[in-house]
Structure 1
Amino acid sequence: MAKRAGSADLPLHSGRVPAWLGQRMTRLGRVIAEAIVHHYGRDEFLRRLSHPFWFQSFGAVMGMDWHSSGITTSVIGALKRGLGPVSGELGLHVCGGRGRHSRETPAELAAIGARVGFDGAALAAASRMVAKVDSAAVQDGFDLYLHGFIVADDGKWVVVQQGMNGDSRLARRYHWLSEDLKSFVEAPHSAIDGRNQGRIVNLTDRRAAPSRAAQIGLLGDFGPDGIVREVATLEGRLPPPPEQPLLPHLVMPARHEVVAGDVMMRRLHGALAAAAEAGPRDFADLLAVPGVGARTVSALAMVAEVVHGTPCRFDDPARFSLAHGGKDRHPYPVATRVMDETIAVLKRAMGQAKLGNDERLEAIRRLDDQARRLERVAEGPDFDRFVAGERAASAGYGGRSVFGPEPFGPEPVAAPAARRPAK
């Protein structure tokens, strides 16, 4: 059966991603995907996309609202734009999207299949089945409006799709992974993201197997005997089904603000300490891009964790919004200059790696390793002081949000640095 990864609550947000952010998300999403494929392969990148905690963190590190449903649409869109030009090189293709784009998925799969050699018709059928299961077999009050289908040249795929409930103003995200998928109708999801809103009909649950079998039986034997057998099932005279394991559950609040409780501070302090301590000393070549300093290295440490981190590292997605900020000005405006420097460093490192020189990519990996070591001992500012410092310095970092560029105010005060404790 398919891997299942968990669930999350996503408040439903309207609006569009501004062009200045969408373009940066496209570039950053592409180079992060390239780095993951380079280090771990295409299969691992598909597994990452099927994990709801990682997916949310991926969107947050790219400057999207850390908690909202908009991450789903914007990440799928950024990957479709970013990976399109390198799909032949990476062997990855992003199909579908929001609204009418979702309905174009079967045609896109058929065209790509004809070009690269997989069975596009079979994958188009899988795409339709996935959408049908989450709209009919899982009746939870959410109407699908987005369907993203990411497929590799060897035919392996992941689906990320999302539904909305207009009354509750919530969205639910569904993750599917083709790896080990044995059935479309029994526990097929890698994850379902959304708040429990009471009783639902989920005919894909393992415990619904007797119900599915009974429904098929009724179709073939629609008469008194079939009805009697169905009543016996409902009255519990058949053996109880096995228990289903609990899944991780990510809860995204409706509030926009990032608060201290959303962030594991020891991990943040580790990244900041690695930037302050290791960056200037060990990453001279990495920092050869003009203007790159400790602030960019701290952002790189969080991007490096998105590339190299294991699933348990992403249970506080809000932390990754601290890399570059958020478009809604929470936790602070997007630091566009820092984001541009992050992209430049990663692109230069990937360019060298493609020529056989992995040193710069390995430097980024070492930065992640250093941050993990230091988080056990690093000390630093409390959350409110850190955010206040970043907001004060925002204009100097090219701070921008949906409300416009950040104005220059009084002389900015730098955010306090994290450090290794004195011995």
Structure 2
Amino acid sequence: MTGVADLPLHSGKVPPWMLKVMERLARSIARAIVEIHGPDAVVRGLADPYWFQAFNNAIGMDWDSSGSTTVLLAVLRKVSLSEDLGFIVVGGKGRRMRGIDSEVEALADRVGIDASKLLGFSQAAGRVSNVLLQDGYSPYIHAVVASETGLMVAVQQGMNVEAGLSRRYHVDRESVEEPFRGVSGILSHSGVLNAVASESKEARKLYVDLAREGASRIERMVLEASRMVSGAPTLLDYMDRHPGASHRNASGGPRSSKPYYKPVPIDSRTRKYLEMLADNPPVDEQDLLTAPGLTPKVVRALALVADIIYGVPTSHRDPVSTPLNPFVYAYSVGGKDGVPYRFDRRTAERVVLALEEAVELARLGRDEKLRALRRLRRLLDPLRS
């Protein structure tokens, strides 16, 4: 399952002593997963917002903290780069997010993955999470987890300061349509432009056709559509007044009755991006993932023209579809901020020792491995209840 999770913005840092224990816990859990299920299981797990949050809870981060994404990715990154577990984590928050391209070039060989494929996946995931899907969250974390088999997931987090929330996106498909197969979080009822929705397929096809029209024609249509949604008289309004006119929009209603659209002004920068798009138009809707010049504002302009001029709407559905269960594994070792209780260092260290012992036993042979797995299951059962 891939998806989205909404988390309240929290301030504060993890104390150094606690971070060391969290790193040991994350390392032990990752080793156990890789030993039993292989490195692909880590990647598949991190694609699931429930599993991702459960991992956070299991190492002691609070269930509702936006910082949990930063901490888990950071500790798993350190683990993956310090020993060979068959997966790597690249990117992260701020500076690491901005430097992910050079990091991919340097580290892709570590697990035998083509750097260009890993980089292409990272860029595609960033575009679907922030350009083709616009839901009011500005990205400040972007990381990619990849296994030695080539399985990949991008984890991106955006911030909405006004709402006091961050939202986490899990993308495991290089697809322009429904890259978030399972989505959890807080549902928004307004202000979303979802060009990756399945119901936006016809709109995406129209985006491709519009790109071939040329930058100047697109700009004229954006201007006309902007006047229509603002209620100003347009050329088509004058044509409508002609006795034989039938120039209503394709939806059948007044052209200005689209309250979810706002005029899109075209400045010099946007004009430059429109020219880039028109000079190198996408060949199909999938090609939108790499089309130069396709910025958030250009997508809004294309969506405005598609709906207002041609009557082909882009979806306004928020991709969130599954409520978040915040307390999955939250009682394992407690939480940094004391929710549901303060971080229990002694219990955390005992869990580390138990997991390390189980992994070592699993490496001895099949019979010992089965006994180790049974013991590990007994350790996990109380956490599930």
Cα 1:92–1:186 change in 2 (3 A) is: same
Q: Pick from 331, 341, 346 the counterpart of residue 337 of structure 1.
A: 346
Distance across 2 between alignment mates of 1:219 and 1:325 = 53
Contact 2:334 2:343 in 1 (8 A): yes
Per-residue CA shift, 1:387-422, capped at 9, x if unaligned?
xxxxxxxxxxxxxxxxxxxxxxxxxxxxxxxxxxxx
Give the counterpart letter for 1:188 in structure 2: P
Where do 1:140-151 residues align within 5 Å? Answer: 140-151=135-146
Contact 2:178 2:198 in 1 (8 A): yes
TM-score normalized with structure 1 length: 0.63
Give the counterpart letter for 1:21 in structure 2: M
Give the counterpart letter for 1:150 in structure 2: V
Cα 1:110–1:81 change in 2 (3 A) is: same
1:38 lines up with 2:35 in the alignment: yes
Aligned to 1:47: 44
Give the counterpart letter for 2:108 in structure 1: G
Where do 1:256-271 residues align within 5 Å? Answer: none
Cα 1:230–1:107 change in 2 (3 A) is: farther
Aligned to 2:193: 201
Contact 2:137 2:159 in 1 (8 A): yes
Cα 1:370–1:331 change in 2 (3 A) is: closer
Per-residue CA shift, 1:84-134, capped at 9, x if unaligned?
222x2x211111111001122222222223344321022112212212222
Distance across 2 between alignment mates of 1:209 and 1:134 = 17
Cα 1:326–1:75 change in 2 (3 A) is: same
Per-residue CA shift, 1:195-230, capped at 9, x if unaligned?
333221111111111111112211212559x96999
Give the counterpart letter for 1:98 in structure 2: K
Unaligned runs of 5+ in 2: 222-235, 237-246, 251-305
Give the counterpart letter for 1:250 in structure 2: P
Distance across 2 between alignment mates of 1:326 and 1:42 = 27
Aligned to 2:206: 214
Aligned to 1:25: 22
1:62 lines up with 2:59 in the alignment: yes
Contact 2:183 2:322 in 1 (8 A): no
Per-residue CA shift, 1:261-304, capped at 9, x if unaligned?
xxxxxxxxxxxxxxxxxxxxxxxxxxxxxxxxxxxxxxxxxxxx
Where do 1:164-175 residues align within 5 Å? Answer: 164-175=159-170
TM-score normalized with structure 2 length: 0.69
Percent same amino acid at aligned positions?
35
Contact 1:214 1:230 in 2 (8 A): no
Distance across 2 between alignment mates of 1:9 and 1:142 = 10
Where do 1:111-150 residues align within 5 Å? Answer: 111-150=106-145
Secondary structure at the aligned position of 1:320 is classed as coil
Give the counterpart letter for 1:45 in structure 2: V
Secondary structure at the aligned position of 1:151 is classed as strand
The two structures, once aligned, show a CA RMSD in angstroms of 3.2
Cα 1:165–1:230 change in 2 (3 A) is: farther
Higher RCO, 1 or 2 (CA under 8 Å, sep at least 6)? 2
Distance across 2 between alignment mates of 1:327 and 1:105 = 28
Shift of 1:35: 1.4
Secondary structure at the aligned position of 2:51 is classed as helix
Distance across 1 between alignment mates of 2:129 and 2:100 = 16
Per-residue CA shift, 1:151-188, capped at 9, x if unaligned?
112221111110001111100000011xxx362x2111
Contact 2:5 2:169 in 1 (8 A): no
Per-residue CA shift, 1:285-331, capped at 9, x if unaligned?
xxxxxxxxxxxxxxxxxxxxxxxxxxxxxxx4415221111111222
Contact 1:7 1:250 in 2 (8 A): no
Distance across 2 between alignment mates of 1:347 and 1:322 = 21
Question: Which structure has the bigger radius of gyration?
Answer: 2
Shift of 1:241: 10
Stretch of structure 1 that moved more, 167-176 or 29-38:
29-38
Where do 1:33-112 residues align within 5 Å? Answer: 33-86=30-83, 88=84, 90-112=85-107
Contact 2:3 2:180 in 1 (8 A): no
Aligned residues between the structures:
299
Q: Pick from 162, 165, 186 the counterpart of residue 177 of structure 2.
A: 186
